[in-house]
Structures are given as structure tokens and as C-alpha cells.
């Protein structure tokens, strides 16, 4: 029995660490992602960026787990012969509501020159019985991937992400509330104020 679990663990580690995908000639980033994920609907537009290397465009995409109400983000990092290696950004769990990716941006959030991946999320809250009508906002920051030696998963910057927690905006039985960080400009201003 233990050998079976060990084998399954090895298989899981091998497939998650070494997953690579071939991109067809003239295939758009969106068509490529939809083909490899076998999904027609994506919860956020596919992003293709040369943010970290002008000669290599990285693809950023998200898929939704409708049962869990979570969203998982990935990078596809180009290698040779149109092969792309998949890297996990993170799984964004629901917080009393379905996870919605509001925005993805690049901003400096550490001491190096490269800009990090910043994901802005909201969780709609509609509970009439509890007199709650609004949205929770959060911002999550991830380190830049090493394009030559991609990790299995990006590093999460918890301390900075905690400082960018947007809070709740909407109505409750105690009155109206405003979120601190819910726009790209408010997050950029906060990072600048922190010295980045």
C-alpha cells in the first residue's frame, strides 16, 4: 500500500514539475491556452508579455474550478522549439464568495530592478439576511520567475501582500465601507509609498 502512494507521489511530482506544451505555428496565446487546458471559458484575459526578457514572451493565464470557486494562475515560459514550460503562480481560494481576478499588473515590490507579478482579486459578497452587499478586495504579489531555470511554483511575497489587503467595500448593517486598495492606481501608489 505504501509503495502505491509513493509511486503516485513520484508521478505527481514528475508531471507537475516537468509539464511542457508545444505551441503550434501562428497559434495565438489565447488559442494555445484554451487548447492545452481544454477550456472555452477563461476567467481573465490571457496575457502575453516580454516583461522580463524582450526576446521571450511569457504567457500568464488563469483557470477556474467552478466546484471550489477557486482560480488557479499559471505561467507558460518559452523554451526551444516552441516548447513552453508551465509554472504554477498560485491557487486563489474563495473567501465566502467566488474568486474574481480583477487585474494583473507588473510593479516593483522588492529591491531588484525587475517588476513582480501583482494580482488584484475580489470576492463578491451578497447576503441579504446578514445585511452584507459589497466586495472584499485583496492584492497578491509574486516574485519574478527565473526564465532559464523555472521553478515549479512562484514565490509569494506574503508581507507585502498583507500590506496591500484592500478590505471590504459596500454596505453592511453598520453602514457604508470603502476598500483601501481596489484599483491599479491605488496599489501602485501604495507600493511607491513603501519605497518601491
What are the Cα distances from residue 181, in Å, to 173, 190, 194? 22, 8, 14
Name the pairing type of β-strands 58-65 and 47-49.
antiparallel
Least confident of 6-15, 33-42, 132-141: 6-15
pLDDT at 82: 96
CB-CB neighbours of 38 under 10 Å: 7
Q: Is 166 exposed, middle or buried (0-12, 13-18, 19+ CB in 10 A)?
A: buried
Q: How far apart are CA 163 and CA 153, in angstroms?
A: 22
Find out whether 138 and 154 touch, Cβ atoms under 8 Å.
no
pLDDT in tens, 29-78: 999 999 999 999 999 999 999 999 999 999 999 999 988 889 999 999 99
Domain ranges of the chain: 2-193
pTM of the model: 0.86
In total, the chain counts a number of residues equal to 196
pLDDT at 86: 98
Amino acid at each position: 500500500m505504501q509503495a502505491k502512494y509513493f509511486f503516485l507521489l513520484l508521478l505527481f511530482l514528475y508531471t507537475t514539475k516537468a509539464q511542457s506544451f508545444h505551441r503550434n505555428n501562428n497559434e495565438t496565446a489565447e488559442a494555445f491556452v484554451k487548447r492545452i487546458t481544454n477550456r472555452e471559458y477563461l476567467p481573465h484575459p490571457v496575457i502575453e508579455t516580454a516583461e522580463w526578457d524582450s526576446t521571450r514572451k511569457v504567457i500568464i493565464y488563469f483557470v477556474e474550478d467552478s466546484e471550489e470557486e477557486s482560480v488557479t494562475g499559471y505561467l507558460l515560459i518559452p523554451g526551444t522549439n516552441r516548447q513552453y514550460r508551465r509554472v504554477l503562480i498560485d491557487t486563489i481560494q474563495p473567501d465566502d464568495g467566488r474568486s474574481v481576478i480583477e487585474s494583473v499588473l507588473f510593479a516593483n515590490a522588492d529591491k531588484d530592478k525587475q517588476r513582480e507579478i501583482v494580482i488584484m482579486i475580489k470576492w463578491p459578497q451578497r447576503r441579504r439576511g446578514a445585511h452584507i452587499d459589497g466586495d472584499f478586495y485583496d492584492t497578491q504579489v509574486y516574485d519574478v520567475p527565473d526564465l532559464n531555470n523555472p521553478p515549479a511554483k512562484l514565490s509569494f511575497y506574503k508581507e507585502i501582500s498583507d500590506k496591500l489587503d484592500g478590505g471590504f467595500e459596500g454596505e453592511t448593517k453598520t453602514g457604508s465601507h470603502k476598500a483601501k486598495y481596489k484599483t491599479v492606481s491605488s496599489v501602485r501608489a501604495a507600493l511607491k509609498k513603501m519605497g518601491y
